[in-house]
A = this chain, B = another copy of it.
Amino acid sequence: NSMVSEQEDSKHGIVPFGGSAAHVKTPDKQILGGKGLGLQEMSYVGIDVPPGFTLTTPLCQVFQENGDLPEEMWRQVEAAIQRVEQDMDRKFGDPSYPLLFSCRSGAAISMPGMMDTVLNVGLNKETVEGLAKATGNKRFAYDSFRRLLDMFGDVVLGIPHESFEDKLKGLKAKVGVQDDIDLTAEHLKELCDLYEKVYDEHGKEFPHNPMDQLKACIKAVFGSWNSGRAIKYREVQGITSLLGTACNIQTMVFGNLGPTSGTGVAFSRDPGTGKAVLNGEYLVNAQGEDVVAGIRTPEPISTMEKGFPKAYEQFIRNVHTLEQHFKDMQDVEFTVENERLWMLQCRSGKRTGQAALKIACDLVDEGICTPEEALLKVEPDHVKQVLHPTFSAEALESAVYKENVVAVGLAGGPGAAVGKVVFSTETAEEMTKEGVILVRETTSPEDVGGMWASRGIVTCRGGVTSHAAVVARGWGKPCVVGCDDIDVDMKTKTMTIKETGEEFKEGDVISINGSTGEIVRVAIETTVPALEGEFGKLLGWADEVPDVCRVMANADSGADAQKARDLGAQGIGLCRTEHMFFSPSRLPVVRRWILRDEGLEQVQEFQREDFREIMHVMDGKPVTIRLLDPPLHEFLPHSSEINEKLSKQLGYDDSQALASDIEAMHEENPMLGLRGCRLGIVREGLTAMQTEAIIHAAADLIEKNNDAKPYPRIMVPLIGSVAEFKNQALLIKRTAERVKKERGIDVPYEIGTMIEVPRAALVSDQIAGVTDPEDGKRLCEFFSYGTNDLTQMTLGISRDDAGAFLQVYKDLGIMEEDPFKSIDTEGVGFLLHLSAAKGRMVNPELSLSICGEHGGDAASIKFFDKVGLDYVSCSPFRVPVARLAAGQASV
């Protein structure tokens, strides 16, 4: 397997770490997984990790293909175990003081809660007694054993966790205690027997042989790669590049050996705000899973400083070392076993958008990394999040907000959300369009779909590193966790405020503030923040990467243009002024022109006004104006709207005549009908009118202010042949020159075309080369790829109608990505490459760009950068993401 042989030290598929393990020369995250890599790197920089070994991802592939693992591998596992036994001076399965293992999954991309873990592997009726004796803690030994029985049953054999929980509850009721901690060693021993009965009840058997346990666990980890929830998570996240998961077998160390032990998780910086303060949680006498699963609400990490000062000091040093080594904020797990610190895991920490920006900037300020390296630490989603709604300062100060806070929990994920309360994933998915907030006692991996479908998440239990909070922050969703003020009843679908008894039913609207943990009983207005501070700084770095693909915006009005400029757009790449035709005062005028061919000059006035405003806002930057594109019938009333009044207004004697004129304009396939440049060619006066409006608007600005620098670029849509372009371009040029002469004002302008019909891509050399017969100069100064239409036509798929089959295609794996979201590189991308090559062959100065949805998609921008485009244009709101993606693509 080529993937393995590249990794010199891991070509056998099993890679040791910790203790005496040699460092891997070229550690590869794809092969080792994130967790495995972290363990390698930690031992490399001299940090104590419990020794163990990683079964690499190619073995997961082997398992997926064969449903089993080869004998040869098991012999290597045994050798790896022996190495650990020597380092730890204990033996796996040794009844006197057994070495125990954890068995954890770990893919190259962190998938929280998605993959399964089994702890305490190696315990059985014999070794549990040895552990009890060796640790002098029988209660601990049996607690460990019952945890193994539970997890093994659940994860490996598919026995529902609830079956074990029922026994635990029954026992607690029987002995009359509230908390697990109050159960004695004997109780737990009894519980182990009860758990073994659960196996019997499910017709299963617990393997008492430690090696059998380990083998079963490894297979379960590899098997979990294709569990439904793992597949769902990858689908939601669009993860397609992974080989599989690695499986990490690691010596167990115990945080639950008593008061000198403990366990914790921490972020080296605040994952919510990005502030450079250690942010962690710690539980004394507990095992790590307790923290992550949110079963017990942990204490802040400062607790550890008091109880375990030496371990804490070491921990701080470790965290610092890791940040320097990885040049990034770290998310770590650790255990203190009898006052000795062991690091269990480290990885780049998930963070909110705000935190990502601050951390990136701080790392540069602290000299830890360069601006370009920092750029790569910010994900497009982070930028999206920062643009996500929050409650405005005024809203937060208002009485309506303050007086309606009904509960406060922990701030699990910053931001604001307003939506209808729902209590299950199913309902969340069903009602997603209405905007929902998912309220759960606690979330588990099964809830991933519902969380994705929700605007915000609330849980009653769990801390800021609980599943709910981690996932929510990853997605930039506001989240309130560990909200003890509320009770949730799944059966009656009710959320109750404990103190007042106030009830919220499914569908009731609430607001949540993920930055403060507050829950508000009414809808509070949200706002979107502007570019500022780190945000602007970081995107500035992105803009400055050499040879970066510039970012412009699609804007149809002065307001849009202003937003685009505010968000850093370097011009307008697509202005579709016909969008403004729909305003109530204009629509009747536009309709009269369409139907009766009257009042073109009034339409021109509207356009001139719009263009003036946009060019004023964008002064000094290019404004690319597309000539009228949509089929004219899009502006006409629907048959149900036709009445006598409307008919009179549009200059008809009766509604019958109007209806019949509208009917005559019906098209079978309007997308491929009379639109784009076809309108300009067929409809008398249209192109001249628009050109006049543009040049007049620019001249108006210059007339008013001599320093004004309007720069219109006139773009002809839907060109399919050089003859079409030549016809329109000459008309535009003659008109523009005439207006300039009439006004006596020199307006600089460009003429170009959209390339969005496949044929245009094929004859791009002709289009780029066509000249004005009068002066011999080239007519086309730019191409802008209209990737929406180009995708529709190249794939033969109408976006409006694709809903009926695209989901099936994704489910069947026939299509991996929605081609309207991320560019289809093989088909549409080929045409783009071909057209760009043909165009630049004829005219090396030809400006090439994208307008359309793909212009704001990070993956697509990477491709466009490779093609060598000059700029992308996307909606103003997506400009920051595009700037980041463009910068990253060029680093």
Could you tell me which A residues sit within 8 Å of B by CB distance?
667-674, 678, 681-682, 718, 720-721, 723-724, 727, 756-759, 762-763, 789, 792-798, 800-802, 804-805, 808-809, 812-815, 824, 826-828, 830-831
Residues of B close to A674: CB separation below 8 A = 801, 804-805
Shortest Cβ distance from residue A677 to the other chain B in the assembled complex, whole angstroms: 10
Shortest Cβ distance from residue A816 to the other chain B in the assembled complex, whole angstroms: 9
A670 and B671 alpha carbons, distance in the complex (Å)? 10
Say how many copies of this protein the assembly contains.
Answer: 2
A797 and B805 alpha carbons, distance in the complex (Å)? 23
A794 and B723 alpha carbons, distance in the complex (Å)? 16
Residues of B close to A668: CB separation below 8 A = 670-671, 798, 800-801
Instruction: Pick from A758, A802, A808 the residue with the most CB of B within 10 Å.
Output: A758
Are B681 and A809 within 8 A (Cβ)?
Answer: yes
A669 and B801 alpha carbons, distance in the complex (Å)? 7
Are B681 and A796 within 8 A (Cβ)?
Answer: no
Are B830 and A762 within 8 A (Cβ)?
Answer: yes
With contacts A682-B804, A758-B758, A758-B793 known, what are 9 further pairs, Cβ within 8 A? A667-B798, A668-B801, A669-B798, A671-B672, A672-B792, A673-B804, A681-B809, A720-B797, A759-B824
A830 and B762 alpha carbons, distance in the complex (Å)? 8
Would A721 and B793 be within 8 Å (CB), given that A668-B671, A798-B667 are in contact?
no
Residues of B close to A723: CB separation below 8 A = 813-815
Residues of B close to A681: CB separation below 8 A = 805, 808-809, 812, 814
Which 4 A-B residue pairs are closest in the complex by CB-CB distance?
A759-B827, A673-B801, A672-B798, A669-B798
Q: What are 24 A-B pairs at a CB distance below 8 A?
A: A667-B804, A668-B800, A669-B672, A669-B801, A671-B798, A672-B792, A672-B793, A672-B801, A673-B802, A673-B804, A681-B808, A681-B809, A681-B812, A682-B808, A718-B796, A756-B796, A757-B796, A758-B795, A758-B827, A759-B794, A759-B795, A759-B824, A762-B831, A789-B796
Residues of B close to A678: CB separation below 8 A = 804-805
Residues of B close to A721: CB separation below 8 A = 814-815, 827
Are B796 and A720 within 8 A (Cβ)?
Answer: yes
Residues of B close to A808: CB separation below 8 A = 681-682
Shortest Cβ distance from residue A850 to the other chain B in the assembled complex, whole angstroms: 18
Are B758 and A667 within 8 A (Cβ)?
Answer: no
A719 and B805 alpha carbons, distance in the complex (Å)? 14
A773 and B241 alpha carbons, distance in the complex (Å)? 22
Residues of B close to A831: CB separation below 8 A = 758, 762
Would A763 and B798 be within 8 Å (CB), given that A805-B681, A814-B681 are in contact?
no
Residues of B close to A827: CB separation below 8 A = 720-721, 758-759, 762-763
Shortest Cβ distance from residue A744 to the other chain B in the assembled complex, whole angstroms: 33
Are A669 and B800 within 8 A (Cβ)?
Answer: yes
A196 and B797 alpha carbons, distance in the complex (Å)? 71
A859 and B41 alpha carbons, distance in the complex (Å)? 70
Are A672 and B796 within 8 A (Cβ)?
Answer: yes
Would A796 and B682 be within 8 Å (CB), given that A671-B668, A674-B801 are in contact?
no
Would A720 and B762 be within 8 Å (CB), given that A672-B669, A804-B674 are in contact?
no
Shortest Cβ distance from residue A666 to the other chain B in the assembled complex, whole angstroms: 9
A813 and B667 alpha carbons, distance in the complex (Å)? 24
A321 and B812 alpha carbons, distance in the complex (Å)? 74
Tell which of B673, B718, B796, B813 touches A759, judged by Cβ atoms closer than 8 Å. Answer: B796
Instruction: Pick from A724, A794, A826 the residue with the most CB of B within 10 Å.
Output: A794
Shortest Cβ distance from residue A544 to the other chain B in the assembled complex, whole angstroms: 36
